Amino acid sequence: MAEELPIASDFALTLDWPDKPGTGGNPLVDETVARVEMLVEGKSVTSYQSDRGDRGSHLPLPTYFVAEWLAQNWWALLYEPRKQEREDAEADFRMRHWLGTARNGFALPDVLFAPTGEAIEITARPSYLRFARLNFTEAASALVPREAVRARLAAFVDAVVDRLRQKGVNGSDAQVAWSRVKSTSAEEEVYCRLIGSLGLCPYVDHPEIDQALEKFSDNVSETMLADLCDAANVANFQRTAALTRKISTKLEKTVPVKVGKLIRASKPSDTRPRAYEWGYRATDVARKALGIANDDPSGYRAFFDHLKLDFGQDVVADADTSVPSLVSAAVVRHEDDMRLTVLGPTQAHQKFAAARASFLTWSHERDASHLVTTAKTRPQQASRAFAAELLAPVQFLRKRLGEAKEVSPFALDEVAGEIGVASSVVRYQVQNDGYFIAEAA
């Protein structure tokens, strides 16, 4: 289950320069020593207590290494969501998103920045640093709008770089890296965001990825490219890009359907702590707009009938079924018209993808196109909850499974077969509703 986080905008990173610089002999360190405070959800996550009993919330440290880390990882830090559960992939992700990477022998709190689309999940945990004999005491978690995080971090790096320049220090790695970021044009930023979301630096050549992007950048929208890069990594980018091109080509030939009744329904905005709550609330609104009962397991048929979706005509076959696809559908909307094409080995997978696509086109602007992917961004996560609740309503499952909160996987498979959805969808629903699945020994 996702950790409960408040939607917040209170993130701050401040620094105070001392009257006299340090005298250690390294100007990058000496000239950037400052008292730093980081606030997350109103809590000072730089609050510390030393083994000697010293306490404080403004942490004294050389800020150069933090500024250098931010400047060198800028685009990934702001745009790369988590993608894989493998231990090596997580370690690689943490190098670009965990503040502790910038310690360089100095004390910094355990803070992780994890992009989830338009927001960044900031998590701070208490930690003891043996080498510094220091304990960071505060824990905090918040979802902060990405632009707010970007503005505050940029102000911090600006301050450190300006401080170096004023003290006669030029040409450091931090200054060079930040100069590249600051000189990036609005047109170039589109590319930087895409490359950054893959966990790469846009100022280094990536010929194979550049070539793949170039092949279909004229035929695939900017938002689809962003969805693609949010889901893919370097290893699977080529295959996912080829599949995206195939789906988008099919999408151009599909017949548009009118979705005005759904579009005009007042959709809930993304203001809930957990992404799946956003999806569940949207399902309730959609069912009310279309007159579908919240405990009707066949209600999805009325939903798809309203959208006039033809699973026989609008399906794309994936030639390589040995590797799970990161993309399961593509959708484009122009005012009240929607075109959709789906990918999936079974109709159960196709229905789930179509329901997710409907949420994405409904929850975004009037003219937009998107991919349905495995990305761990809030819109994609909410779309999964929307589809799960539409296809396997919790109210129906409660009636069908009874009052006992412990259920067997065999019972869930049976229910999934009855209503024509994937077993994984039913499992997701019952687990989110507090059921315990008693796996066989």
Position with higher pLDDT, 187 vs 440 = 187
Mean pLDDT, residues 145-167: 95
Position with higher pLDDT, 19 vs 28 = 28
What is the pLDDT at residue 251? 86
Place of tokens 């409960």: 4
Mean pLDDT, residues 234-250: 87
pLDDT tens for each residue of 77-103: 999 999 876 766 788 999 999 999 999
Q: Output the CA angle 197-153-117, nearest 5 degrees.
A: 35
At position 270, the amino acid (one-letter code) is D
Mean pLDDT, residues 395-404: 90
Please list the residues that pair with 127 across neighbouring strands: 136
- CA–CA separation, 45 vs 22, rounded Å? 25
Residue 6 confidence (pLDDT) above 50:
no
378 and 117 Cβ atoms separated by less than 8 Å? yes
Q: Which range, 206-215, 254-263, 411-420, has the best average confidence (pLDDT)?
A: 411-420
433 and 394 Cβ atoms separated by less than 8 Å? yes
| Domain parsing of the chain, residue ranges | 11-182, 216-391, 396-437
Q: What is the mean pLDDT of the chain?
A: 88
pLDDT tens for each residue of 345-360: 788 888 899 999 989 9
Position with higher pLDDT, 316 vs 183 = 183
What is the pLDDT at residue 316? 54
Q: Which run of H or of E encompasses 24?
A: none
User: Could you give the percent of the chain with pLDDT greater than 70?
Assistant: 92
What is the pLDDT at residue 85? 65
- Tokens at 135, concatenated: 């304990």
